[in-house]
Amino acid sequence: MSKSFTLVVPASSANIGPGFDVLGIGLDLFLTIKASVDSQVDTSSYDSNCHLSYEGDNAQNVPLEASKNLVTNAALYVLRCNGMSLFPLGTRIHVNNPIPLGRGLGSSAAAIVGGIMLANEIGGFGFDKLRLMDYCLMIERHPDNIAAAMLGGFVGSYLNELSEEDQLYKSVPLEYILPKLSTPSDKVLSTQPPKEIGEYLKYDFNPKVKCITIIPQFELSTEKARAVLPESYTKPDIIFNLQRLAILTLALAQDPPNHNLIYNSMKDKIHQPYRASLIPGLENVLASVTPTSDPGLCGICLSGAGPTILCLATDNYETIASKVVSIFKESGVECTWKVLGLAYDGATVEQN
C-alpha cells in the first residue's frame, strides 16, 4: 500500500487588539508538510515508525524524533485516540516551515493543525474540519489562531460550555494528551475529545487592508506571555475591550476602510499592557504609530502573544514598517518585516 499527500497550513495573527483569545487572521505564509506512506519502505528503526525531516525556521533546534516534535506528536494523539498506537510502517514526513517560532505568528497553531490533519489522512479517518478543531483544541486551548489556521480568513470563535463529564476531558493536563512514548497508555488516550468544543464564524475582511508584520529577532513563548496576565480584570477594562471588539469586526469589512475607526477599535486593555514588560519598546511603538502620523495605517497591535507587531494598512507599508523597526532599535531590538495578505482557505490537503 502506498499514498502521498501535501498539507499546507497558514500562519496566523491572533487577538487583533481587543479580541483576546477570540479573533484570528490566517496569513499567507505557509507551513508545508509532505507525507508519504509506503509499506515497502522499512522505517521501523525510527521513533514511532516515522522518518521525519525539517527545513525552515530554527532548524537546528527542532526535534526530529516523532514523539518529541509538535507536528508528529499532535498526529500521534489523533492516531492513538482512533486505535493506532504508532505511524504505519513506511511513514516519511518532510516539514518546510517559514513561520518564525515563538514570535506570535501562530507557528504552534499551524504545527498542531498540520499534525492533526496529517493523522486524519494517514489513518483515513475522514473527520471534517469542525471535528478536527476539537482535536486541536485539546492541545492548544485557545481557539483564535487554531481557527484561523484551520479555517482561514478573519475568524471569531468562542468555546462552548461543556458538560461536566466533557469538562473533565478538556481539563486533562497536556502531558497526558501528548505523552512521551515511554508513558504507559492511559484511559485518556483511547478517549475521543469532547464534540463541538468551540464555534467559529468567518467575517468579511476588506482586501485593500494588508497585514504588515514587524518581527523582533527574539522568541517569546506564548506560555510565558500568558503567565504575566492577571486572573481578573476591572469592569471598565472589560467594557473597553468589548465595545471595541463589536465595532472592529464590522469596521474591517467596510469599503472604503475608516482608518481612524479601525485604529481606535484595535486598542486593548486586556493583554498588551501586561505583556509590555516582556517586550522592550512595545509601549513606545503602540503610542507612536497612528493614522495621523503615518498615513495609510489602519491599526496597530501585538500579533498573538508577541513579540511581533501587526500593522493593518492600505498604503505606505515600507514607511510604516521602517518606523516600527527604528523604534524597536532604540530599545536594542532588531526586527525583520513582511507584508502579508490573508490566507482565505485555511489548511488544505492535496493528494499527490
Q: Is 108 in the site for ligand ADP (CB under 6 A)?
A: yes
The contact mask relative to ligand ADP for 13-42 (x = CB under 6 A, - = no) is ------------------x-----------
Size of the site for ligand LJ64HWYM (CB under 6 A): 17
Q: Is 69 in the site for ligand ADP (CB under 6 A)?
A: yes
Site for ligand LJ64HWYM in 45-74 (CB under 6 A): none
Site for ligand LJ64HWYM in 214-233 (CB under 6 A): 222, 225-226
Site for ligand ADP in 296-315 (CB under 6 A): 304-305
Site for ligand LJ64HWYM in 259-278 (CB under 6 A): 271
State which of residues 22, 62, 252, 320 lies at the interface with ligand ADP (CB under 6 A): 62
Cell of 139: 492541545
Residue 43: exposure state from Cβ atoms within 10 A (0-12, 13-18, ≥19): buried
Q: Which does 244 bind (CB under 5 to 8 A by kind): ligand ADP, ligand LJ64HWYM, none?
A: none
Of 43 and 69, nearer to ligand ADP (C-beta) is 69
Site for ligand ADP in 162-221 (CB under 6 A): 221
Q: How far is the CB of 22 from ligand LJ64HWYM (least distance, A)?
A: 8
Q: Is 106 in the site for ligand LJ64HWYM (CB under 6 A)?
A: yes
68/84 Cα distance (integer angstroms): 18
Non-local (6+) Cβ contacts of 127 within 8 A are 120, 135
Q: Is 104 in the site for ligand LJ64HWYM (CB under 6 A)?
A: yes
Q: Which does 221 bind (CB under 5 to 8 A by kind): ligand ADP, ligand LJ64HWYM, none?
A: ligand ADP
Of 142 and 259, nearer to ligand LJ64HWYM (C-beta) is 142
Non-local (6+) Cβ contacts of 3 within 8 A are 36, 37, 121, 351
State which of residues 111, 148, 309, 340 lies at the interface with ligand ADP (CB under 6 A): 111
State which of residues 48, 107, 120, 241 lies at the interface with ligand ADP (CB under 6 A): 107
Non-local (6+) Cβ contacts of 148 within 8 A are 10, 12, 13, 14, 24, 25, 26, 106, 109, 154, 155, 346
- Which window, 42-50, 103-111, 233-241, 260-268, contacts ligand ADP (CB under 6 A)? 103-111
Is residue 161 a contact partner of residue 194, using CB atoms and an 8 Å limit?
no
Determine the residue with CB nearest ligand LJ64HWYM: 304
Q: Is 305 in the site for ligand LJ64HWYM (CB under 6 A)?
A: yes
Which one-letter amino acid corresponds to residue 287? A
Which one-letter amino acid corresponds to residue 251? A
Phi first, then psi, for residue 254 (nearest 5°) are -65, 150
Q: How far is the CB of 64 from ligand ADP (least distance, A)?
A: 9
State which of residues 7, 8, 17, 21 lies at the interface with ligand LJ64HWYM (CB under 6 A): 21
Residue numbers of the site for ligand ADP (CB under 6 A)? 31, 62, 69-71, 95, 97, 101-109, 111, 221-222, 304-305
